[in-house]
Amino acid sequence: MPTHYADHAWHGPVTVEENVTLARDTYRIRLACPEIARRVLPGQFLMLRLPGESDPLLGRPLALYDVVAGPGGQPHSIDLVYLAVGKMTRLLTAVGVGATLEAWGPLGNGFPLTPTKHLLMLAGGIGQTPFLALARAYLGLQRYGDPPRQVVPAEQVSLCYGVRSGDLLAGVEEFRRLGVSVHLSTEDGSLGYRGLVTDLIAPVVRQSAGACRIVCCGPERMMQAAAEIARQLGVPCQVSLESPMACGIGICFSCVKKIRDGSGHWDYRRTCVEGPVFEAADVEFY
């Protein structure tokens, strides 16, 4: 049962240790924040804000990309990957090493670390960001959380990753180095399969040696299509939703989505504290 309170969140200043380009308009920022780094789980996020600014005013939710150990081997920093698309993220690209930002987290429930033989991660656009840490957890390469969570390793971890154009693909080699089997698609055909990433789901599921589970993060249309494909294939599927958030901690009731309960009725649920990961079959997409 997920908790609906951000009881393990920490709020304070964080120092920028790195802010580098990964792909077109795509950056990785490293923040020194041991309090968050030691607690955070794959699929959780934190809110990041430019301190002292009233425009942009609100924090922005950014998913954990990875945890980085300090000199003593303990979790010390976290990496976030962001696409410079709006007012805040464009300003963030200009933030230098040594600058102070304000952060609160970890937030949300993250992915349930349910054992599975084959984990298929479906990413669209910038939706690959929560999957690097998840892959490391499922491949037994790293334990996250305080106390560290033990995950039954998967035999196979796949990433189906689709973007509009090849120059937007970010971090592909990092996934490959872990041993993730990577399947790429681009809408313009500049790299990998030409078309929608959801076309890759069925063939990759069929390559499964055993039980498969799908986790998705990306545009809602993609996740809706994936939910339907998963249903037809009879494969469990979870989606990490992104909806506009003001607080990230459950107090503003902005980030709601229609989620069905067991009886089929929907209610607005807050994606920040009750999600962001939901069973795909429970989500009313439109």
Partner 1 sequence: MPLSQAEPVRTAEARLDVQLGRLRLANPIMVASGTFGYAREMAGLVDLSRLGAILPKTITRQPRPGNPPPRTIETAAGMLNSIGLDNDGLEAFVERQLPYLASLKTTIVVSIAGESCEEFVEMAARLEGVPGIDALELNMSCPNVSHGVDFATDPRLCERVVSGVRKACSYPILAKLTPNVTDVTVIARAAEAGGADALSLINTCLGMAVHWRRRRPVLGNVLGGLSGPAIKPIALRIVYQVAKAVKIPLVGIGGIAGIDDVMEFLITGATAVQVGTANFYNPTVCTRILDALPAALGELGMRSVADVVGTLDADPSPLHRD
Instruction: Give min distance, CB of 12 to partner 1, in A.
Output: 5
Single-letter amino acid, residue 92: L
Q: Is residue 261 near partner 1 by the rule CB under 8 A? A: no
Q: Is residue 243 near partner 1 by the rule CB under 8 A? A: yes
Q: Is residue 6 near partner 1 by the rule CB under 8 A? A: yes
Q: Give every CB contact of residue 246 below 8 A, 6+ residues apart in sequence.
A: 58, 252, 254, 255
d(CA 4, CA 238): 18
Q: Is residue 7 near partner 1 by the rule CB under 8 A? A: yes
Q: Is residue 257 near partner 1 by the rule CB under 8 A? A: yes
Q: Is residue 117 near partner 1 by the rule CB under 8 A? A: no
Q: Is residue 140 near partner 1 by the rule CB under 8 A? A: no
d(CA 180, CA 177): 7
Q: Give the distance between the most distant pair of CA atoms in the chain.
A: 53
Convert 9-26 to b/e letters by CB count within 10 Å (16 or more is b).
bbeeebebbebeebbebb
Tokens of 261: 């309960």
Q: Is residue 251 near partner 1 by the rule CB under 8 A? A: yes
3-state secondary structure of 235: coil
Q: Which of 58, 95, 184, 281 binds partner 1 (CB under 8 A)?
A: 58
Tokens of 76: 């010390």
Q: Is residue 254 near partner 1 by the rule CB under 8 A? A: yes
Q: Is residue 189 near partner 1 by the rule CB under 8 A? A: no
* 248 φψ region: left (φ > 0), alpha (ψ -120 to 50), beta (else): left
Instruction: Give min distance, CB of 251 to partner 1, in A.
Output: 4
Instruction: Give min distance, CB of 206 to partner 1, in A.
Output: 36
Binding residues among 77-116 for partner 1 as defined by CB under 8 A: 87, 102, 104
Instruction: Give min distance, CB of 271 to partner 1, in A.
Output: 10
Q: Which of 24, 25, 49, 190 binds partner 1 (CB under 8 A)?
A: 49
d(CA 247, CA 59): 7
DSSP annotation of 126 reads: T
* Residue ranges binding partner 1 (CB under 8 A): 4-12, 49, 54-59, 87, 102, 104, 243-244, 246-247, 249-257, 267-268, 273
